[in-house]
Amino acid sequence: MSKLNRPFYYKEDPKGLGRFVDLRDWQDDKTVLKNPHKGWYWHYIDNGYGRGAYRDRYEKIVYKEDGDYDLVINDFLEDFPLLNHLYLRFDWGDIEKKEGVYDWTYIDKIMDVWGKKGYMFSLRICTFEGTHEGVLKYATPKWVFDKGAKFTDINGRIEPDYGDEIYLEYLSRFMQECGRKFNNDPLIEFVDVGTFGTWGEGHTCEGSGKVFSFDTMIKHIDLHVDNFPDKFILLNDDYVCQREEPNPGENQAIIDYALSKGLGLRDDSICVDGYCEWYGYDSLRSPSLYDAFSKIGPVDVEFAHFSHYMSPEFDPPLFRDGYAALAALMRGRATYAGFHGYPRKFLNTFKSMAYYCANRLGYWFFIEGLKLPDLNAGEVNTFTLIVSNRGFSRCYHKYELKFRLVDMENGNTYEFSCDDVDVTKWQPVNVPSLEDCIYEEIKLDFANVPKQRAKLQIGLFEKDRPILFGMSKERMTDDGYYNLCDVEVL
C-alpha cells in the first residue's frame, strides 16, 4: 500500500502515557515553505544611493512628463527559494540633503514595487561610507558640518565625530523621523544599529581608526531602540569585536546593555580572507556572542562580497564551496542570511545551498506525533503534542496554535486556541529522536462538543496567515490546518 493511501493507526505507547499517533511518515523535508520572518535577503541598496551595486542590473528608472518616475524591475527573483526581504542600507545624506527636508521618494518606490510581490525589508541608516566609488563624500549631510559638527577628512570622505553634540543633535532628530516613518510599517523586519562606524558596521576601519567612548556607543544603540520600539534591533558584532577598550570591561558592558535592551546580532562579511586565516572554519570571530544574543533576538549573517570569496587568488577558496558559510549559519543560529552580490549569479552558482538553507534559516517546525488518550464530550481533555524544530534557530514571533474538530457526519467544526503554548520556546534540534522533541501538554475544553467521530486538525497562525509545517500537502486543508488523525469523542 502506498504511503498516501495508508490509513492512520494507533501504536501502543511503551511509556504508558497514552496511545501514540505516529505522524513521522507524513513529514516533508523537501518542499520549501514560504514562512515569514526568516530566510534569505538581498543587499538592494548596499552603500547608499551613490553605489549602484547590486541593484543596477535589475532596476531602471523611467521618468515621466510630470517629472516623477517609475521604478521598472526586470526580474523579481520569484524562483529564489525563500528570498524573504531586501536590505536597504542607505545614508542619512541620501534623505535629508537640506535641513528638515526628508526625501523618501526612492525608498517609497522600492518598497511599493517590491512589496507588492510579497517582499519584506530591513534597514541600516549610515552616516559614513568607506567606499571610494560613487557619490559618497557626505553620508552625513554637508549642512551638519556647516553648523559646526566635528569631522575627519578621510581622503575626501567625511567621517563625523560620532560623539559630537551637534552631530548627535541633528542625527537624533533624523532618527525620530525615521522612527515615525518605519516603526509601525509591517513590511520592516528589523533595523540594525548603523549610525556608528564605517559602512555602519560599528568599527572605524577604513576611517579614522579612533576608539569612541562607552557613552557614545550607548547613545547610538539608544537612537535605534528609542525610535524603533516595535522592531527587532540588531547589533553588529564589530561594535565590540574591533573596539580596543579604553577601560577594562567596557566591551562586556556594551554587550550586557545591548542584551538588556533585547537586541539581536548581525555579522558583516563572513568568509573574508583575514577571518578565514585567523579564525575557525566558519570564519566567525566571536562565536560565543551568538550564543548570548540568539537567546534574545534574531541573528543575521551577511556573506562577504561574492567577487571576494569567489576570487581564484585564494587557495583554498574562502567560501569552501559554501560549506564555510553553512557552518557559520549553523553555529551562529542564523534566522537571516545575505549573499551580498548579484542574486542570479549567486543562485546559479550555489543553487543547492540556497535551497538547503531556505527552510533551515530560522525556525522549521515538524509534527512528530500525538500521545492521545480517550476523548470525552463535556470535559476538559488533555493530550500531548510532540513537535520538533529543525531550523538553525528558534522562532522570535509568537504565533497562535489552534486545534479543530470536524464532525465527519455533519461537517460541524469546533475550534480551540492554545494561548498557553509559546512557540518561541521551541528550541532547534538538528536530527531529533522522539526523546529530543518538544512535548506540549494540550488542554481542550469539550464543554460544548457532542459525541461524534471527527477529524482532529492542527494549525499555526500569524493573525490569518498559516505558518507551514514540514508536513505533506495531502494533509493540509484550504484554510491552513493539517489533518492529524480521526478520533472518536465518547
Prediction pTM value: 0.95
Grid cell 562607552 is found at 214
Cα distances (Å, whole numbers) of residue 355 to 37, 70, 347, 395: 17, 33, 9, 20
DSSP bridge partners of 458: 403, 482
Burial class (CB in 10 A: 0-12, 13-18, 19+), 288: exposed
Q: Which amino acid is at 247?
A: N
User: SS3 string of the chain?
Assistant: CCHHHCCCCEECCCCCCCEEEECHHHECCCCCCCCCCCEEEEEEECCCCCCCCCCCCCEEEEECCCCCEEEEECCCCCCCCCEEEEEEEEEHHHHCCECCECCCHHHHHHHHHHHCCCCEEEEEEECCCCCCCCCCCCCCCHHHHHCCCCEEEECCEEEECCCCHHHHHHHHHHHHHHHHHHCCCCCEEEEECCCCCHHHCCCCCCCCCCCCCHHHHHHHHHHHHHHCCCCEEEEECHHHHCCCCCCCCHHHHHHHHHHHCCCEEEEEEECCHHHHHHCCCCCCCCHHHHHHHCCCCCEEEEECCHHHHCCCCCCCCCCHHHHHHHHHHHHCCCCEEECCCCHHHHHHHCHHHHHHHHHHCCCCEEEEEEEECCECCCCEEEEEEEEEECCCCCCCCCCEEEEEEEECCCCCEEEEECCCCCHHHCCECCCCCHHHCEEEEEEEECCCCCCEEEEEEEEEEECCEECCCCECHHHECCCCCEEEEEEEEC
Count of CA atoms in the C-beta half-sphere (13 A) of 122: 29
- Number of neighbouring beta carbons within 10 Å of residue 178: 21
Q: Which CATH architecture has domain 39-360?
A: Alpha-Beta Barrel (3.20)
Q: What is the mean pLDDT of each run of 10 residues along the chain (490 residues)?
A: 44 57 95 98 93 93 94 98 98 98 98 98 96 76 98 93 98 98 98 97 95 97 98 97 90 97 96 95 95 97 96 94 97 96 97 98 97 95 96 98 98 98 96 88 97 98 98 97 96
Where, residue-wise, is CATH 2.60.40.770 in the chain? 3-32+364-489
Q: Which of 204, 193, 278 is nearest to 242 (CA)?
A: 204
Where, residue-wise, is CATH 3.20.20.80 in the chain? 39-360
Q: Are 372 and 485 in contact (CB under 8 A)?
A: yes
Angle at the Cα of 125 from the Cα atoms of 121 and 129, rounded to 5 degrees: 120
Whether domain 3-32+364-489 has CATH 3.40.50.1010: the reply is no
pLDDT attached to residue 134:
52
